[in-house]
Amino acid sequence: MEFFNKLIIPSSGANLELLKYLLSLALIIFSIYSGVLLTSLILSFIYKITASRKNNNIYFMFSNDYIGIITPNKTMALGLGVAPLFSIILIYIQILNKVNNDIILFFTISFCIFFAALVLIYLYKYTLKPVQGQSNENRTNSINTITGIAGIIFLLFSLRLFYGLVNLASDSNNWSFAGGFYDIVFTTQAVIKFIQFITISCSISATAFIVKYFYWDKFEDNVTQDYADYAKKINSWLALGFAFIQPFILAINIYSTPDNLMNTNSFMFGMLSLVSLLIFMHLSYAGVRYNKYQAISFSFYLILLAFIFIILKDQSALSLSSRQQILTLADKYNQLEIALLEKEGKKAPQINGEEIYKTKCTACHKFDQKFVGPPHKEVLLKYLNNKEGMVKFILNPVKVNPEYSEMPNQGLKPKEAEAVVEYMYKEYGNKLK
């Protein structure tokens, strides 16, 4: 759509790389907020219905406390929900520049539904009343039930679509997507990742309940001991139960991820997430087993770390698959920059292949000796009749020889990589045999 193209700002390779880091940060903020919002809303509504059936105000109190975890005021919704989601969409517009505007359109639909869900959730919160019996309160209760159900449906639909799109955008092979809602949300990877998102969000919400009300707000002084004991116990078991299945979901997630989207960072973040989860489960069980709930307050930060590592693991897939796209966009930016300089009567700066080679390459390579990387003599012979292939490899390196570690991306621009290759053949060409 032409509207999305107008939002695109030509960016250098460095700026595009920075956008990827900002995307990860925005996803972390939004994922934690939206996950706790959804699961706390569902738990609140379940207790609200239970309270209505049993006419028990203790359950109403529990319901009110759940929805209050993440909705103390509207500013939080804007700062942790609307702003990060809007930023995420703008970043995807930049990264998926002219690739597929259908994906961006679906992101926009998800944003609109999410905003509507927030309105419904706050209506649900403000109409949640513990006392029943009078006609006007029966009416309020009906509004509360309707807004609660609608809020859950809208939020669930919005997040299901959003995370399906994030999964779709993480693999450049899917960027030619021309399907509909079903094709976004019902792929194997999308389903697995959303189950992971929901279950770990439940653990975070349950742990956050204990931490917020009994250690941050000192809520225990204002409630009965029975309520405090029940709240701590039920939330500890919820946190532990949903955390227990995380290693299995994480293993399935890694196993089902295509090989081209896995690298050292993916495994590292996956292992860090697993370690955080195991320590979290140990502390949570200790809290339940020995009634030492203070340990759970420490474990809250561990479950947040585990979630953050899962998000970073998934985002490493986007870093891998978007390399060529970023190089293409950076090259277009460089061409625009050169054209602008020529228009002003200035010369574009010359690229020094020798300087780049000595700065970037000699730290890991020698000409005829094995070092951190293979000898450049072997590399030059391999690409003797395929210099373009060597340029492409430098711009987007992959692991080839198991004897050496994977070459890190040097962040070179296409013209810089070409200059390095030309220098190498000029310098060592007569030594190749």
- Domains of the chain by residue range: 2-325, 350-431
For residue 354, is pLDDT > 90?
A: no
How far is the C-alpha of 126 from the C-alpha of 289, rounded, in Å?
37
**Range of lowest pLDDT (40-44, 85-89, 218-222, 364-368):** 218-222
Q: Residue 412: its pLDDT value, please?
A: 79
Q: Residue 311: its pLDDT value, please?
A: 93
Q: Residue 245: its pLDDT value, please?
A: 93
How far is the C-alpha of 11 from the C-alpha of 329, rounded, in Å?
7
One-character DSSP codes across 322-378: THHHHHHHHHHHHHHHHHHHHHTT-PPPPP-HHHHIIIIITTT--SSS-SSS--HHH
Q: Residue 299: which pLDDT band, with cuts at 50, 70 and 90?
A: confident
For residue 165, is pLDDT > 60?
A: yes
- Which structure tokens are listed for 237? 């078991």
**Which of the pair, 30 or 51, is modelled with greater confidence?**
30
How far is the C-alpha of 35 from the C-alpha of 163, rounded, in Å?
11
**CB-CB contact of 29 with 62 (8 Å):** no
**Which of the pair, 391 or 129, is modelled with greater confidence?**
391
Q: Residue 95: its pLDDT value, please?
A: 84
Place of tokens 């259908």: 102
How far is the C-alpha of 284 from the C-alpha of 243, rounded, in Å?
10
Average pLDDT over residues 296-301: 82
**CB-CB contact of 311 with 32 (8 Å):** no
Average pLDDT over residues 354-371: 83
One-character DSSP codes across 234-247: HHHHHHHHHHHTHH
For residue 318, is pLDDT > 60?
A: yes
**Which of the pair, 406 or 46, is modelled with greater confidence?**
46
Q: Residue 262: which pLDDT band, with cuts at 50, 70 and 90?
A: confident
Largest CA distance in the chain: 96
Considering the four listed CATH numbers 1.20.210.10, 1.10.760.10, 2.60.40.10, 3.30.365.10, the one that applies to the domain covering 350-431 is: 1.10.760.10
Q: Which residues contact 324 (CB under 8 A, 6 or more apart)?
A: 172, 395, 396
pLDDT per residue as tens digits for the range 85-123: 999 999 988 888 767 667 888 899 999 999 999 999 999
pLDDT per residue as tens digits for the range 219-234: 666 677 888 888 888 8
One-character DSSP codes across 24-38: HHHHHHHHHHHHHHH
How far is the C-alpha of 152 from the C-alpha of 43, rounded, in Å?
11
Average pLDDT over residues 244-271: 86
Place of tokens 């989207």: 261
pTM of the model: 0.82
> Smallest Cα–Cα separation from 200: which of 314, 353, 351?
314
How far is the C-alpha of 412 from the C-alpha of 433, rounded, in Å?
29
Q: Residue 308: which pLDDT band, with cuts at 50, 70 and 90?
A: very high
Q: Residue 406: its pLDDT value, please?
A: 78
DSSP percent split of the chain into helix, strand, coil, nearest 5: 75, 0, 25
One-character DSSP codes across 93-144: HHHTTTT-HHHHHHHHHHHHHHHHHHHHHHHHHHT--S---SHHHHHHHHHH
For residue 306, is pLDDT > 80?
A: yes
For residue 132, is pLDDT > 60?
A: no
Q: Residue 405: which pLDDT band, with cuts at 50, 70 and 90?
A: confident
For residue 135, is pLDDT > 50?
A: no
Q: Residue 348: which pLDDT band, with cuts at 50, 70 and 90?
A: low
**Which of the pair, 133 or 186, is modelled with greater confidence?**
186
pLDDT per residue as tens digits for the range 59-91: 888 888 999 998 888 889 999 999 999 999 999
Q: Residue 133: its pLDDT value, please?
A: 47
User: Could you tell me the end-to-end alpha-carbon distance of the chain, in angstroms, rounded to an integer?
Assistant: 54
Instruction: Supply the mean pLDDT for the chain.
Output: 83
For residue 185, is pLDDT > 90?
A: no
Q: Residue 258: which pLDDT band, with cuts at 50, 70 and 90?
A: confident
Q: What percent of the chain has pLDDT over 90?
A: 30
How far is the C-alpha of 56 from the C-alpha of 64, rounded, in Å?
13
| Residue 213: how many other CB atoms lie within 10 Å | 21
How far is the C-alpha of 174 from the C-alpha of 180, rounded, in Å?
13
Q: Residue 128: which pLDDT band, with cuts at 50, 70 and 90?
A: confident
pLDDT per residue as tens digits for the range 323-335: 777 777 777 777 7
Residue 55 DSSP one-character state: T
